[in-house]
Amino acid sequence: MEGEGETSTWNKETVPKVIKIVSTRLSQRDLISLLLVNPCLHRTLISCPSLWLGIDLREMNNTGDRLIAALSLPRYQHVKQINLEFAQDMDDTHLEVLRNECLDSLQGLESLNLNGCQKISDKGIEAITCCCPKLKVFSIYWNVRATDIGVKHLVKNCKHLVDLNLSGCKNLSDKSLQLVADNYQELESLNLTRCVKMTDSGLQQVLVKCSFLRSLNLYALSSFTDEVYKKISLLSLLRFLDLCGAQNLSDEGLSCIAKCRKLLSLNLTWCVRVTDVGVIAIAEGCTSIEFLR
């Protein structure tokens, strides 16, 4: 009897405690697999709300239906992060279903990754962002269907964004930058890689108004001039700056950027006008720099 009592205590108390500790180090996909092992393990995992704050459907098939099904489950009623990077079978209709059927579950969402979801258009952006008033991080890399209208929906519905990735959204123009500058003045990270329709006019608005920027990615954008690069000096908190391919950047412009004293990482690959003079200015002005290419 004594042995049976010890076994019972082990099963009811020790095992659940161990599972709760171990489960925090497992991926979401592993957690879902563990749910199927036995009812006891299922109850233990479900009783830990902190394990179900994220939904990871990266690179998976039938993603739209999977996401709708997941958000209908009680354990995901307080989800804070959703990662759909390069997920398959996700389009505007799925996001509209989420708006109509899963609105409550998305009210606390803080991070949404739609990278590579190329079937999503402005219509889908409107549908999903109207569900997420607390969104802080939004990434929509490599979406050629998104336009300035989509960004207009974003700034209207999500007022607290601090991290925005628009990399590869080739149909966005200065109108999007104006919207970002006017509505996200506490923005900390902005990625505009290959947003080829943007000009000095739009970027200048961001540099003047978004003074809290710590990370700015302008990779593969050769149309900006030295005049707007000089304005980067306004970003006193800047830590990361990618100017790869900035063909119009001169030593004079780089010397102005050297006023960003807190800069830690700078990419100058293919900045063909920069000479030793500009690099020396960076070395003397940005004494905390750790990465320089």
3-state secondary structure at position 186: coil
**Residue 230, amino acid:** K
Q: Are 33 and 58 in contact (CB under 8 A)?
A: no
Please spell the DSSP secondary structure of 22-60, one letter per residue: HHTTS-HHHHHHHHTT-HHHHHHHHT-GGGGSEEE-TT-
Token representation of residue 264:
């830690």
Q: What is the DSSP secondary structure assignment for residue 144, as one 8-state letter?
A: S
Token representation of residue 106:
């998305």
**Residue 260, amino acid:** C
Angle at 210 between CA 224 and CA 247, to 5 degrees: 15
| The residue to which tokens 């108004």 are assigned | 209
From the number of C-beta atoms within 10 Å of its C-beta (0-12, 13-18, 19+), residue 7 rates as: exposed
User: pLDDT tens, position by position, for the chain (293 residues)?
Assistant: 455 554 555 556 676 777 778 778 888 888 888 888 888 888 888 888 989 999 999 999 999 999 999 999 999 999 999 999 999 999 999 999 999 999 999 999 999 999 999 999 999 999 999 999 999 999 999 999 999 999 999 999 999 999 999 999 999 999 999 999 999 999 999 999 999 999 999 999 999 999 999 999 999 999 999 999 999 999 999 999 999 999 999 999 999 999 999 999 999 999 999 999 999 999 999 999 999 99
Token representation of residue 206:
């961001």
**pLDDT at residue 271, as a whole number:** 97
**pLDDT at residue 31, as a whole number:** 82
**pLDDT at residue 286, as a whole number:** 97
**pLDDT at residue 36, as a whole number:** 82
**Residue 72, amino acid:** S
Q: Are 187 and 155 in contact (CB under 8 A)?
A: no
